[in-house]
Amino acid sequence: MAPTASDSAPVEFHFDPMGRTEDLRRYSPGGYHPVVVGNTFDQDMTLPDNQRRYRILHKLGYGSYATIWLARDQASNAFVALKVTTAESSRAEMREARMLRQLAGAAEGPSTHILTLCDQFSVQGPNGLHHILATEVVVPLLTVLRPETSPRWRKSAARALASGVAHMHASGIKHGDLHLGNLGCAFPELAQQSEDDVMQDLDPYDITVVLPCNPEEQTPSLPAYVLSACNLGEYCRRIRLPERDPDIRILDFGNARFADDPASDIQCAEEACAPEVAFARVALHESKPAWGPPSDIWALGAAIYEIVSGSSLFYGVGIGEGLLDRMVALTGSVPVRWQTFWQSRHARRDIGHSSDSSHEAVDREWARRRDRLREKCADDADVDRLVALLRRILVLEPEKRPTIDEVVQDPWFQVGDNIAAPAA
């Protein structure tokens, strides 16, 4: 059996990055590739360092299955983001690249709201074979969405997101993990900056030396140090031209599948977890629940709510019975296929009907949500149209949700701020 990131991992280090970086123990066979500033990468890694195409400048972020780096394409002098996967997840990242290529080559043309893939290749390292995606640099949406962000900007971002989903679905692809953590904003102003200016204005390097307590565990699997991610959103605010409408990008297609692929081992955040997926996981204990484009529609509704209100409907709940409770509180009706589980759950917990899902209770819940949304909408008519849209989208039965074409034609997107709808 091939080694994995959990095998023979160093247990203790002299210096702890205290949650500011990826888990140091994942620098082991099957895990992260050891990357440091100044490293160079190329499809042909036999080239001398100074002839390889991509040079690492700073860290942009990390996740469970990859580290992401700001790099310079020395062939074009463009800035790019390099996503360097863990060895054990390379298959998923190859699927992501395939989906991005499919979307870029769609019959109706590429969408401006899907992340642009520039290059892809693999490198062999001490921890295994790692897939690398070179993409355009985007700013995480969560870092630029501020309390003072205007209603116009918020609606434009929501509209652009819906446009990107429309392109995905028209291309026969479903995303599976659509939430604000997987959204970014294009940053064309970065191309106007020199490398010297960028490196001076970005956050200084915050370095933690990687030194195992046991000298025998100082192996090539480990980098010499790990680096905290720079705050690209703050840098963007410092150098950006006057505020313009957001140019949204949908990211992270590692969960994406073709629309006619009925079931998969979907790994999604609770904010993006549709009721049919949550119910299959929690009540039926299915590891590969069936899901489809309507699952993206639910996630889109939750994302629109968060873009406008600044707060999440489901973050922190976890994918469990509490998530199902919150979903029912928004909709008021339990699907027929949920009834047996729902009744046994209430009997098991001796709670009777204390989870009030009456129409009156749901109306009260949405009245409370409306008050929160009103602070970020243009006027009363605008928030009423938005609540009507969200209540159309956030229904438990996938077959009762609107299609993405129906969503983008909704009055909330068409009325209220005189912004022309962005091209798909």
Alpha-helix runs per DSSP H in 105-231: 141-144, 151-170, 195-201
Taking the C-alpha atoms of residue 274 and residue 300, their distance in angstroms, rounded to an integer, is 10
3-state secondary structure of 223: coil
Are 316 and 166 spatial neighbours (Cβ–Cβ below 8 Å)? no
Smallest CA-to-CA distance from 151 within 366, 412, 393 is with 412
Taking the C-alpha atoms of residue 222 and residue 244, their distance in angstroms, rounded to an integer, is 42
Residues 6 or more apart whose CB falls under 8 angstroms from that of 107 comprise none
- Report the 10 Å Cβ neighbour count for 106: 17
* DSSP calls for 112-126: TTBPPEEEEEEEEET
Total residue length of the chain: 424
How far is CA 81 from each of CA 58, 72, 237, 347, rounded to the nearest angstrom? 10, 8, 19, 52
Taking the C-alpha atoms of residue 126 and residue 219, their distance in angstroms, rounded to an integer, is 9
Mode of pairing for the β-strands spanning 207-209 and 66-73: unpaired
Indicate the helix (H) or strand (E) that contains 326.
helix 321-331
Q: Is the sign of the CA dihedral 120, 60, 316, 150 positive or negative? A: negative
Are 398 and 290 spatial neighbours (Cβ–Cβ below 8 Å)? no
Q: Is residue 155 annotated as involved in ligand binding? A: no
Binding residues for ATP: 83
Binding residues: 83
